[in-house]
Amino acid sequence: MKNLNIKDLSIIGVLSTLAFICNSLVATFVTPLLGDIGIYAHVGPSLLLAGIIFVVVLKKVAKPGCFFLFGVVFSILFSLMGLWQMSFVIIPATLIGELILAGNGYHSNLRIVIAYTVYGGIYSLHPGFFVWILGQSGLMSQFPEIFTEADAIAHVAKYTNTAFVSKILIFTSLFACAGGILGVMLYQKFFTENNKTSVLDQI
């Protein structure tokens, strides 16, 4: 992180905020369209759009610590919304992403896509982490405006079901992977001179 300068921090701050806004807007509009599964599955489409911006951030800055700071911005914005608990999921997920990108990973499109896919999978399970750590009573005490007793019971039932958790993880990871790949393709097309390479070469 010592190599990050003011310009880098500005790019990370602005684009991460934009990704957060897109993430929130997609979740707002997509959740009702997905019906009963919307509250669980909306993360997938959100990760798809945010992934495009994520790739631009990492490729523009391309320095260790960028992914972590991307998560810090998300955590701060969630905290401003009263959801500071999200930090306990996002920060570890971005640190894992940094490990995947260690060395020359910031210059590898494949590793960037993998890092974002792993991050997306972990991020998508944030309701599950709260269930597994807090339990029903913890959900109601930590998120009183979100969970009634009936909601908490239903939530716990969902995230203690291995098949359900697996479906959510696969669903959202595929969207995250698609977002990363699309981000690489668009970055290659609009932000680099080498825009005639194949998709395989780009990845």
What are the residue boundaries of the structural domains of the chain, listed by start?
Answer: 6-202
pLDDT at 2: 59
pLDDT at 173: 92
Helix-strand-coil percent breakdown of the chain, rounded to 5? 80, 0, 20
User: Buried b vs exposed e over 140-149: b needs ≥16 C-beta within 10 Å?
Assistant: beebeeebee
pLDDT at 40: 58
In tens digits, the chain (203 residues) has pLDDT values of: 558 899 999 999 999 999 999 888 877 776 666 655 555 567 778 888 899 999 999 999 999 999 999 999 999 999 998 888 899 999 999 999 999 999 889 999 999 999 999 999 999 888 888 888 888 888 888 888 777 888 888 878 888 889 988 988 898 899 999 999 999 999 988 877 665 554 434 55
pLDDT at 16: 94
Sign of CA dihedral 184, 70, 146, 28: negative
**Prediction pTM value:** 0.84
Furthest CA-CA distance within the chain:
56
Q: What residues contact residue 54 under an 8 Å CB cut-off, 6+ apart?
A: 19, 70, 116, 179, 180, 183
CA atoms within 13 A on the CB side of 199: 8
Instruction: Decide: 142 and 130 in contact? Cβ < 8 Å.
Output: yes
pLDDT at 48: 87
